[in-house]
Structure formats: structure tokens, C-alpha cells
Structure 1
Amino acid sequence: MDLRIFTEPQQGASYDTLLTVAKAAEDLGFNAFYRSDHYLHMGAGNGLPGPTDAWITLAGLARETKRIRLGTLMTAGTFRLPGVLAIQVAQVDQMSGGRVELGLGAGWFEEEHKAYGIPFPKEKFGRLEEQLAIVTGLWATGVGEKFNYDGTYYQLTDSPALPKPAQAKVPILIGGHGATRTPRLAALYADEFNIPFASLEDSEKQFERVKEAATAAGRGADDLVYSNALVVCVGKDDAEVARRASVIGREVEELKANGLAGSPAEVVDKIGRYGEIGSSRIYLQVLDLDDLEHLELISAQVQPQLN
């Protein structure tokens, strides 16, 4: 089981805080550092010191880390034109020496679009499909060749399709709970399918839908990596679990029901159950970015039992 660290910087985190967490994750043996792509905090609090841009953050981390993979759950398609996004991701991949992964979603949080003057189109899913076709098409175009695309929402004419990523194939992540269109898109474009904050039962159903869509598209069902994103709250004892839950404004029993919470043994057991339904990668949503001892505990007492 591949454990990865997943952060939500819009809730309140500076670049320096993210750098500290990313370096700690790397030193502690986690395989990847991911972040969300939002410009407005959600729920309680004020989100100070304010948002950080996902790809500017990852560009900085690309130069200040050495091993850990870097990516987004999920880059919002509404924030960036697909041609520009292809350039950004390819450049950050070069800056990292080939450690970038692109999670791409349609975008959903209308309030942040209003807050920062970002258009929020009615038809987002059709745009996402064209964005995936363009980004992957630009990267796949040979050097010296031209890329053209004539879609409903985007048109590209005689693009040189440069620059190229350092990796021959940047992994593409697609995720969500949609029963029909999401599995179809994953089957067409994804290297990994991720379902966020879902129960074992719902995860298994969605994984099966994606596998069926992959088979229908002429791919092997096991060609994709299947993963979950779940909030994490681990403690050496009940008091430490309760303290960590309180800091992030959650109840222990709710976290145990909907995420990964409790003692290391409890969390290992629940991760194992996700593994049994086909998940091979867990994105641990870490909500208190100042608590590096939390990461140390997971590294020391959870991760070794899963390897």
C-alpha cells in the first residue's frame, strides 16, 4: 500500500508551511506530497494567510525536494486554459526531474470563482473532457510536429506542442463519485482513478464501474491504479486521538466512521480493508499542518505494517 500526504492549503497555510510538510514527508519515507487546488477556505476559520496557487507551490517544491512525487487532487479545470496547463505541468515536471503527476477535475466550488473573478461555466464536464484530450494530445505530439484541435469549447491551431515533460508519460489522475461519465473519462485518459472520502462499499462500487468502463474502452481493468483519499487522525492512545480530532474541529467517532482514525493498529486494519477491495494507494488528508509529530507517528507505526 502506497501512502501519500494530501494537504488542503486553502484552509490556511503559507508556502513555507507546505515546504516544511513536504520535506518532512520526503524524509519520513512517504511516496508523494499532494495538495488541493482551491482559492477560498471552506467552513470555519479565515484561511489566513490566504491561498497559495497549486502549480506555483509545486514548482517551488520541485526545486527543494529530491525524491518525493508531487501532484494535485485535483487541479480545477475552470482555473486554467488547457494549453497553458500543459505548459505549466511540463515545466514543473522538468524542474522536478520527472516527479509530477496531474490530477485534473472539472472544478466545483462556485464561491471561490466569484471571489476571484474566475468564470464558472455551466457545462464543466464537457470542458474537462476536451481539456484532457488537449493536455495529453499536446504532450504526445512529436517534436517538430503540430497539434490541432477543433472542439466545442477549445480550438488550437498549429501548436508546436512544447515544452515536453521530463517523463515520457506524466501520470493522469481522474476521480469522483459520478456513476457514468466519470468512469468513462477515467477509462479513456487516466492512469489512476481516485475516489475521495468514500466508504468501503461506495469505493468498491465505483472501482467496479471504472473497471467495466476500462474493459469497454479496450483496456485492461488492472491497467489503472485505484486509490482513495481519506482524512487521517492517528494517536498513540485515545487521548492523543481526541486531541488531534479537536484541533481540526472533528469528532473522533465521526472520523473513525468516515476516515482513518484511532490507534495505529486501528488505522492499519481499516487501510487493509480498502486494500481488499482493490485500493493500492491512500492519500492521507492531513488537516493540521503544524503537527509534524502526527506524520512521524504514521511513518513509524502505520507505514511499516503496510509494506
Structure 2
Amino acid sequence: MDLRIFTEPQQGADYDTLLTVAKATEDLGFDAFFRSDHYLHMGDVDGLPGPTDAWITLAGLARETRRIRLGTLMTAGTFRLPGVLAIQVAQVDQMSGGRVELGLGAGWYEEEHTAYGIPFPKEKLARLEEQLAIVTGMWRTPVGERFSYAGDFYQLTDSPALPKPAQSRLPILIGGLGLSRTPRLAGTYADEFNAPFASVEDSQTLFARVRKAAEEAGRKGDDLVYSNALVACVGKDDAEVARRAAAIGREVEELKTNGLAGSPAEVVDKIGRYAEAGSSRIYLQILDLKDLDHLDLIASQVGSQLG
């Protein structure tokens, strides 16, 4: 089971804080550092000092880390034109030496679009499908050849489709809880399907739908990695779990139901149930980015037991 660290910087984190967490992620042996792609805080927080851009952040981290994978859960399709996104991600992949993964979603948080003057179209999933076709098509186009695309929302004519990522196949992640279109998109385009904040039972259902969709697209179900994103709140005893839950404004029992919370033994047991459902990778949503002891505990007492 791979363990990856997943952060939500829109809730309040500057680049230096993210760099500190990314370096701890690398030093402690986690597989990857991922971040959300949002420009507005959520819930009862002020979001200070303000948002950071996902791909600018990852470009910086690409030069300041050496081993960990870097990526987004999920880049909002509403934020960037697909041709520009293909350039940005390929460049950051080159800057990292081939360690980048692109999680791409439709975009959903209307308030942040209103706050920053970003259009919020109605046809987001249809646009996402065209974006996936364009980004993957540009990267697949051999050097020296041209890429064109005529869609309902995006048109590219004689694009040189440059630059190319450092990786011969840069992994694409698609996630969500949809029961039809999302599995179809994942089965067609994704290297990994992520079930965000889903129960063990719901994850098993979603994974099965994606496997079926992949087979209908002429692929094998095992061509994809299946993963989960879950909030983490681990403590060496009940008092430490309660302190960490309070720090992120959550209740312990709710976290135990909906996330990975409790003692290391409890969390290892629950991760095992996700593994039985077909998950081979967990994105640990870390909401208190100042609590590096939390990462240390997870690495030493959870990760060490998973193999």
C-alpha cells in the first residue's frame, strides 16, 4: 500500500509551509506530495495568507525535492485552457526529472470562480472529456508532427504539441463518485482512479464500475491503479487523537467513520479493509500542516506496518 500526503493549501498555507511539508514527506519515506487546486478557502477559516497556485507550487517543489512524486487532486478543468495546461504540466515534469502526475477534474466550487472572475460553464464534464483528449493527444504526438482537435468547446490547429513531459507516459488521475460518466472517462483516459472520501463499500462499487468501463474501452481492469483519499487523524493515544481532531475542527467519531482516525493499530486495520476492496494507494489528507509530528507518527507506526 502506497501512502501519499495530500494537502489543502487554500485553507491557509504559503509556499514555505508547503515546502516544509513536502520535504518532511520525502524525508519520512512517503511516496508522494499532492495538493488541491483551489483559490478560495472553505468552511470556518480565513484562508490567510491567501491562495497559492497549484502548478506554480509544484514547479518550485520540483526543484527542491529529489524523490517524491508530485501532483494534484484535482486540477480544475475550469482554471486553464487544455493546451496551456499540457505545456505547464510537461514543463514541471521536466523540472522534476519525471516525477509529476496530473489529476484532472471538471471543477466544482462556484464561489471561487465568482471571487476571482473565472468563468463557471455549465458543460463542465463535457469540457473535461475534451480536455483529457487534448492533453493526452498532445503528449502522444511524435516530435516533428502536428496535433489538431476540433471539439465543441476547444479547437487546436496544427499545434507543435510541445514541450513533451520527461516521462514517456505521464500518469493521469481521474476521480469522483459519479456512477456512469466518471467511470467511463477513467476507463478511457486514466492511469489511476481515485475514490475521494468514500467508504470501503462505496469504493468497492466504484472500482468495479471503472474496471468494467476500462474493459469496454479495450483495456484491462488492472491497467489502472485504484486509490482513495481520506482525511488522517492519528494519535498514539486517545488524548492525542482528540487534540488533533479539535485542531482541524472535527469530531473523533465522525473521523473514525469517514476517515482514517484513531490509534496506529486502528488506522492500519482500516487501511487493510480498503486494500481488500481493491485500493493500493491512500492519499492522506493532512489538514494541520504545522503538525509535522503527525506525519512522523504515521510514517513510523502506520507506514512501517503496511509493507
TM-score range, shorter chain: over 0.9
Written as runs of structure 1 = structure 2, the 5 A alignment for 1:12-23 is: 12-23=12-23
How far apart are the structure 2 equivalents of 1:256 and 1:214? 32
Root mean square deviation, CA, Å: 0.3
Letter in 1 for 2:105: G
Aligned equivalent of 1:145 = 145
> How far is 1:217 from its partner?
1.0
Helix, strand or coil for the counterpart of 1:227? Answer: strand
Written as runs of structure 1 = structure 2, the 5 A alignment for 1:222-241 is: 222-241=222-241
Aligned equivalent of 1:303 = 303
Aligned equivalent of 1:57 = 57
Letter in 2 for 1:136: T
Letter in 2 for 1:41: H
Q: CA-to-partner distance for each residue in 1:43-101, whole Å, 9 max, x for gaps?
A: 01100000000000000000000000000000000000000000000000000000000
Aligned equivalent of 2:155 = 155
Aligned equivalent of 1:128 = 128
Aligned equivalent of 2:43 = 43
Aligned equivalent of 1:104 = 104
> How far is 1:278 from its partner?
0.4
Q: CA-to-partner distance for each residue in 1:122-159, whole Å, 9 max, x for gaps?
A: 10000000000000000000000000000000000000
How far apart are the structure 2 equivalents of 1:276 and 1:201? 10
Aligned equivalent of 1:113 = 113
> How far is 1:216 from its partner?
1.0
Aligned equivalent of 1:193 = 193
Helix, strand or coil for the counterpart of 2:3? Answer: strand
How far apart are the structure 2 equivalents of 1:150 and 1:275? 41
How far apart are the structure 2 equivalents of 1:28 and 1:201? 31
Aligned equivalent of 2:268 = 268
Letter in 1 for 2:90: A
> How far is 1:227 from its partner?
0.1
Aligned equivalent of 2:253 = 253
Aligned equivalent of 1:175 = 175
Aligned equivalent of 2:244 = 244
Aligned equivalent of 1:293 = 293
How far apart are the structure 2 equivalents of 1:263 and 1:105? 33
Letter in 1 for 2:245: A
> How far is 1:190 from its partner?
0.2
Structure 2 residue 204 is matched with structure 1 residue 204: yes
Structure 2, unpaired ranges of 5+: none
How far apart are the structure 1 equivalents of 2:143 and 2:36? 32
How far apart are the structure 2 equivalents of 1:54 and 1:101? 12
TM-score for both structures, normalised by structure 2: 1.00
Q: CA-to-partner distance for each residue in 1:7-61, whole Å, 9 max, x for gaps?
A: 0000000000000000000000000000000000000110000000000000000
Helix, strand or coil for the counterpart of 2:102? Answer: strand
How far apart are the structure 2 equivalents of 1:187 and 1:278? 16
Q: CA-to-partner distance for each residue in 1:183-226, whole Å, 9 max, x for gaps?
A: 00001100000010000111111011001111111111111000
How far apart are the structure 2 equivalents of 1:47 and 1:155? 37
How far apart are the structure 2 equivalents of 1:109 and 1:15? 22
> How far is 1:240 from its partner?
0.2
TM-score for both structures, normalised by structure 1: 1.00
> Percent identity between the aligned chains?
82
Helix, strand or coil for the counterpart of 1:302? Answer: helix
Letter in 1 for 2:200: L
> How far is 1:247 from its partner?
0.2
How far apart are the structure 1 equivalents of 2:160 and 2:74? 27
> How far is 1:281 from its partner?
0.1
How far apart are the structure 1 equivalents of 2:214 and 2:136? 18
Helix, strand or coil for the counterpart of 2:67? Answer: coil
Helix, strand or coil for the counterpart of 2:78? Answer: helix
Letter in 2 for 1:253: E
Letter in 2 for 1:75: T
Letter in 2 for 1:35: R
Letter in 2 for 1:72: T
> How far is 1:279 from its partner?
0.1
How far apart are the structure 2 equivalents of 1:305 and 1:267? 11
Helix, strand or coil for the counterpart of 1:80? Answer: coil
How many aligned residue pairs are there?
A: 307
